[in-house]
Chain A
């Protein structure tokens, strides 16, 4: 079963605007990762945040994690048309394996 639930399911914005996507999960996690998927480049890792971290930045990306609420958010600032893609949060638990458990994703459309 899928662990994360992204919100919203779909988001349409104009270039230059910020995009915020949220993710909620159900069980305790070791870390949470965000991935982007588009037809051109497949599934690509964006950023990883550990359970003892609250915020992380990478370029135009900002990720927050609230383990008390079991939620995370991904902020993309100054969006570009090239950011058009599906975005997935994926969690890793404390079990021995390191497989990702993905949510259903948010589809982001950025128009110029």
Chain B
């Protein structure tokens, strides 16, 4: 089966500019996650969707980050305006089930963002 798709793979912008990332999860997966991974650290959850509803966005810097999952399939993550500390790899993941179900997550290749 096709994996989680993300684009672009790389993006370089200057601070205060805007940027958007796109994610297409595995077909049929109800739950979609966006993680931020700063160099040398593990991924940190930004937002979790179940179908097209938000389950957890407690760690999303809402003054500059926004995300949506239209029709419960694709998702976009936007940063506006970007700061230097936003330089990171942004990972999208999906899982078949949601709620309290125990299941593995499948990750996309990530988008590496560099803010100059």
Contacts and interface: CB of A to CB of B under 8 A. Distances in A.
Interface stretch (A12-20, A63-71, A75-83, A100-108): A100-108
Q: How many of chain B's residues touch chain A, expressed as a range?
A: 20 to 34
A45 B44 CA distance: 16
B40 interface: yes
B104 A45 contact: yes
Contacts of B98: 98
Given A2-B41, A90-B42, A103-B42, A98 B107 contact: no
B25 to A, nearest CB: 14
B21 to A, nearest CB: 15
Contacts, number: 66
B100 A102 contact: no
Nearest to B56: A97
A42 B108 contact: yes
Interface in A70-96: 88, 90, 92, 94, 96
Given A42-B108, A45-B106, A98 B101 contact: yes
26 contacts: A2-B42, A4-B42, A42-B91, A42-B109, A42-B110, A43-B93, A43-B107, A44-B107, A88-B43, A90-B42, A96-B55, A96-B100, A97-B48, A98-B95, A98-B97, A98-B98, A99-B45, A99-B48, A99-B56, A100-B33, A100-B43, A102-B42, A102-B43, A103-B42, A104-B41, A104-B42
